Amino acid sequence: MEIQEGERDAAKLLQALGHIWNHIFSFMNSMTLKCVVELGIPDIIHNFGKPMPLSQLIRSLPIHSSKAGNIHRLMRIMIHSDFFSQHNVSENELEVEYTLTNASMLLLKDHPFSMTPLLHFELDPILTNPWHHLSTWFKNETPTSFETAHGMLFWDYVDRDPKLHRSFNEGMASDSQLITSVFIEKCKDMFNGLESLVDVGGGTGTMTKAIAESFPQLKCTVLDLPHVVSGLQGSENLNYVGGDMFKEIPPTDAILLKLWILHDWSDDECLKILKKCKEAIKSKGKEGKVIIIDMVMEEKKEDHKLVETQLFFDMLMMVVLTGKERNKKEWVKLITSAGFNDYKITQVLGLRSIIEIYP
């Protein structure tokens, strides 16, 4: 009996050991993915036009000849992670053929919803270095681990680094492309009765441009910091305004706080933003509204991967910024504290939800 219990305990410990190793090495998933994109493998396979043999892939890659024998190892872990599919399996590994999956399609440089700019931004050493300072941050008074690592807040760093600023804008724009397409298709009725819309913190206006084109009767404005919108050209029903959302938002029928605006900020900062939003839509009365596209944390554990991704985003906000991801209870508290009387949450955008709030 004691032997059986000892064997069970040993089996549990070995399983726990494997679990720990898996977490220690999990950074390899993102680093190998970054390598695959930098080598251009998704585009090479896509341009080949049919399942691509390993031998042909090796000849097409800009690599040193001494590294050719390692490509199948790189592809093997990418197959395990569902970024490529493997065909024509044989004893001769050079005859193995690869095709893209839905995930790797989104890594093509020219794909309309390409995620490569966001990948390059999030995996930049400037963004990954603060994670090495996380335990130190817990012991000091700095607002974020980013500041612990770099000596300044994220937004200040972005303002001083043109390359990172450009990478940030490109990354945010790439994330907006697919969400914009789905949002406009599924939420057309959301704009009924509205004559004007202000996209607060709208960046270069990727989403607002699409809204303006789809709803020509809607007068759209992108509000962001002056240096962000400087030089950007509007259209007949789209214009750019430089300003600070913490100080003033132009009067409008509706406000859009799209992808990753409120989650960047603390509850106190979000309250200030939402109160400014309420002031801006007061002329529309009860018909005015604020449209938020952001994450509503799942409290049920039914979709482990979805919950894990949301937890990753929450940690990202803690390390890089002063914001956080919120569950429904936290959103409702924020909405009512800002003086709004009603809300509606619709989950149609994968990780993100649409939150409509009314005065």
Annotated catalytic residues are 263
d(CA 341, CA 56): 62
d(CA 63, CA 82): 24
What b-and-e string marks burial along 154-163, b requiring 16 or more CB atoms within 10 Å of the CB? beebbeeeee
Q: What secondary structure does DSSP assign to 196-216, as a single string?
A: EEEEET-TT-HHHHHHHHH-T
The strand pairing partners of 226, in sequence order, are: none
Query: At which residue do the structure tokens 């890594």 appear?
Result: 107
Residue among 272, 301, 277 at smallest CA distance from 290: 277
Centre a 10 Å sphere on the Cβ of residue 292 and count the other Cβ atoms it contains. Answer: 28
Per-residue DSSP letter, 165: H
For residue 30, report the phi and psi dihedrals to the nearest 5 degrees. Answer: -75, -35
Query: At which residue do the structure tokens 């482990």 appear?
Result: 304
d(CA 280, CA 343): 18
